[in-house]
Chains A and B, each alone.
Chain A
């Protein structure tokens, strides 16, 4: 109230938070803009959120076309290239001449006879150019089309020589390929689980907020109850209770369901709050008066009015799920080999020999951080944008 009054005094009908938008967009356009336009303008201002969108798009794109982006079969062993550190790219060929093509040197393995530590030296007399759209291992693109074309690699002419962008693990498997492949599980588990949360949250939160009364009371108490149990221990206990003989795909869904069963509560709360607020709004009342059925009022009139909030909250709950999957797998209660997820990769790295001898095996952690950060910034941007008239 006070804000509006103050703004009016200044001869400006817009709330102060839109002042920024106001700088670029002419006043006339601003006053007739749809909520969607307003959101977009506002969101566009949030630069980190914009970057996050790009980052996430790239990550999901790579995970979706994992076969194409992985130069090597993520499960293929190579006894002669264990624990290779991330390989340098060089622009000087075997003769020492500069070239525009990126390439790598061949590796010479050395083994300390005492400690058995392997180290790799670059052989300055070799140079293998990195090729694009090369033939490699066979895979099914989009689970459908058999092909063997990969974005990059050394190609057939390099023979046995591999190119490990992010190094190799204890069995000589390509870390880059494993991280990309692992993203498929880790990134999708967030989406799937959040989708389930969304269903639960909207249905239960909606029912709660729309009807009120004892239904509301019951659902509210349930939410409070679930939220009073420490999340991670509860997740741990439930995952430990999954039948141990389930195949991995079933396990994946089991864990997804467990994560969403607990994750829906905050969403449910928000939906309820919105419903409570909207229930007495004029447009809902008029819809009711025209004789629309409850479901129609909810879906047709009420839900659209706060979709933006839901999207923002959803985005903000994905990182929690990703972290939860990682933590569970890390503790040995989540997914397991041969399934590759970031949590599984980190579980393999949770020992001192990794930290001391092969720190690059912790790079999957970086992927987790990136994804979680991006989702948080994106959600933050969406939340700000979703509420152009509020804070």
Chain B
């Protein structure tokens, strides 16, 4: 651990109670502006203002702009942020640089995370968490200068949520019952649910519930209404032209296939014309190389001295296919800041080229643990895998230290699949449960449950047959995870189990998990920071971590796949019962206690057998790139690098 250069125990101490209404943040606790501040703007915008092509900055900003305190210092305007992407399918790379949600995670330092209002000025909720009221920043504008009002919200509710676009995210539609949205005035609206929905804020901080990139519960209706045939302002000629140009079938496809809101008209990434409220907006198409984004002159945030954000003028995403090219670009200093597609397997290479490429390797931590998932629903081996002693034997037969040292250069942490350190649910006992390498004890455990008989090759037998199963994974040759699976195979063979490997294509992996045919599946147990925001892995609802896929389909109300009801005394039923209580429990402390019980059931006899986790996430950060922080946590729940708000990063001007 000495080589890691950072103390992992202190890297994230989430503010417990972050989901509470206590964060009704009308006066922002983070940073405030002096009363009579004069706003500043980027030189490139000042030119436009001088030329009369843009209104002055004070008119572009809301009356109560969001104030963001830069992590280190007030930045300088200008410059281009160069990064790389894999083309149009790599939509989350550019998107996570600049998401705008109504409620967002905010990490004042690497050990704290809390919920704050994003593009709204404040939100409130009633005591039983059935009603939530949001109030917009007064004078908020879209990137084309049009005002952002509750009209945009009402339109979203009518056409996207209730209408034919079927864009109903489950957290906005508990039990499949529609929420009711009511516009109060030009700036405020209220949503009500038929039952308590206390997890709404953390869900909204994870997902917009609408188009990727945001905003939440609103769309630029003044632009999009033209593309809806039934809308009074719908323009059939434009719709036909757009359908033709984009090669789609029906008008709904312009908004996205079946409500994913990633269609060629409604998704900012694919449509440079779409008005947005993000820090940057698309200039060209992601099929272009490079894909260019430019600052939004109407962006609603300022730094603590009243400088309108973002600092950086442009973002350029260069297209690459093969990672070799990205690695060479990094070494040549052509990348300013990037985490996506940067492989920790190349740590040494990146480190050795720091000087040549004029950058630094900055480490964050992944909130995930690689894990082996014995499928307790497997037709043949299910009963065996559902025996805690058997799983314990599998777990302690794994030499995690060796895996870490041999494959990951000691950069990871040997641990059980559990909430990562710093998570509100972190539990050192859970983390070390069944992780002590002890093949002798593993053998004893297997003997203890009666698996003493051996076949001709010395493998253990069960019910008169050799125990023979495969580790199924999708990692191609040369991937560290493929090497890891190889090692685990060896460990398990060493305790007398005839284990093989099944390398399959990803789609086939998913298919077998869905059908419950998988024997042992390998996947990262991610989303382990704020587990409550997305506990699917611990509920057995995420198919790629198939520890109980068929039970999971039964328990997950939204699943339509093959399902099996677990017996009433199976602990998974208790887990689900607790989860439905958590979802409806408005009281913070009770809710947290209930959720901890779910974790405790897992801790008792883990189903997801973790190997190593909390892997370092490598950020390549140019020495000219300011206000980038180390040691934060990378998790989908916390929106990756979006956690430190790239709009406050800047390029040092020479």
Contacts and interface: CB of A to CB of B under 8 A. Distances in A.
A116 B508 contact: no
Given A348-B477, A352-B331, A337 B482 contact: yes
B482 to A, nearest CB: 6
Point out which of B346, B351, B352 has the most chain A C-beta atoms below 10 A from its C-beta: B352
B327 A348 contact: no
Contacts of A350: 324, 478
Contacts of B346: 351-353
A336 B477 contact: yes
Contact of A347 (B351, B405, B411, B477): B477
A338 interface: yes
Interface stretch (B205-213, B281-289, B498-506): B498-506
A117 B410 CA distance: 12
A113 interface: yes
Contacts of B405: 79
A274 interface: no
B501 A338 contact: yes
A67 to B, nearest CB: 19
B348 A116 contact: yes
Interface string A331-366: 010001110000010011011110011000000000
A357 to B, nearest CB: 6
Interface string A55-89: 00000000000000000000101010010000000
A116 B351 contact: yes
Contact of A353 (B348, B502, B504): B348
B327 A337 contact: no
Given A344-B477, A348-B477, A171 B406 contact: yes
B504 A245 contact: yes
Interface in A273-300: none
A113 B328 contact: no
Interface in A227-273: 244-245
B476 A336 contact: yes
B348 A115 contact: yes
A79 B402 contact: yes
Contacts of B407: 170-171
Contacts of B478: 337, 347-348, 350-351
B349 A357 contact: yes
Contacts of B348: 115-117, 353, 357
Interface in A126-171: 170-171
Contacts, number: 78
A347 B407 CA distance: 18
B406 A79 contact: yes
Q: For this complex, into which size category does the number of interface residues on chain A fall?
A: 20 to 34
Interface string B375-409: 00000000000000000000000000010011101
A352 B349 CA distance: 8
A24 interface: no
Given A171-B406, A245-B504, A332-B476, A116 B324 contact: no
B508 A245 contact: yes
Point out which of A245, A332, A347 has the most chain B C-beta atoms below 10 A from its C-beta: A245
B402 A337 contact: no
B437 interface: no
Interface in A14-59: none
Given A244-B504, A337-B482, A347-B477, A82 B406 contact: yes
A114 interface: yes
A24 to B, nearest CB: 52
A339 B503 CA distance: 11
A106 interface: no
A379 interface: no
Interface string B313-339: 000000000011001100100000000
A319 interface: no
Interface in A108-128: 113-117
Contacts of B505: 244
Contacts of A77: 406, 486-487, 490
A337 B349 contact: no
B124 to A, nearest CB: 50
A35 to B, nearest CB: 48
B347 interface: yes
B324 A337 contact: no
A172 interface: yes
A338 B477 CA distance: 8
Nearest to A78: B406
Q: For this complex, into which size category does the number of interface residues on chain B fall?
A: 20 to 34
A380 B387 CA distance: 65
Contacts of A116: 3, 347-348, 351, 409-411
Contacts of A172: 406
Interface string B397-434: 00000100111011100000000000000000000000
Interface string B126-165: 0000000000000000000000000000000000000000
Contact of A337 (B331, B411, B503): B503
B3 A356 contact: no
A45 to B, nearest CB: 44
A245 B476 CA distance: 14
Contacts of A353: 327, 345-346, 348-349
Given A79-B406, A82-B406, A352 B328 contact: yes
Interface string A189-218: 000000000000000000000000000000
Contact of B3 (A113, A245, A348): A113
B273 interface: no
A337 B486 contact: yes
Contacts of A348: 477-478
A357 B405 CA distance: 18
Interface string A348-391: 10111100110000000000000000000000000000000000
B135 to A, nearest CB: 50
B406 A114 contact: no
A356 B346 CA distance: 10
Given A337-B486, A350-B324, A356 B477 contact: no
A170 B504 CA distance: 23
A196 B351 CA distance: 50
A72 to B, nearest CB: 15
B466 to A, nearest CB: 18
Interface string B447-491: 000000000000000000000000000001110001100110010
A170 to B, nearest CB: 8
Contacts of A357: 348-349, 352
A170 B405 CA distance: 11
A149 B300 CA distance: 75
A357 B352 CA distance: 10
A116 B2 CA distance: 12
B190 to A, nearest CB: 51
Contacts of B352: 115, 117, 356-357
Contacts of B483: 170-171
A115 B407 CA distance: 15
A344 B477 CA distance: 7
Contacts of B508: 244-245
Contacts of A79: 402, 405-406
A79 B404 CA distance: 10
Contacts of B476: 332, 336, 347
Given A115-B351, A116-B347, A337-B503, 7 more contacts: A77-B486, A115-B352, A116-B351, A170-B407, A336-B477, A336-B503, A356-B352
19 contacts: A75-B486, A77-B487, A77-B490, A79-B402, A114-B351, A116-B3, A117-B348, A117-B352, A332-B476, A344-B477, A347-B477, A350-B324, A351-B323, A351-B346, A352-B324, A352-B328, A352-B331, A353-B327, A357-B352
Interface of A: 75, 77, 79, 82, 113-117, 170-172, 244-245, 332, 336-338, 344, 347-348, 350-353, 356-357
Closest 5 CB pairs of A and B: A115-B351, A337-B477, A348-B478, A79-B406, A244-B505
Interface of B: 3, 323-324, 327-328, 331, 345-349, 351-352, 402, 405-407, 409-411, 476-478, 482-483, 486-487, 490, 501-505, 508
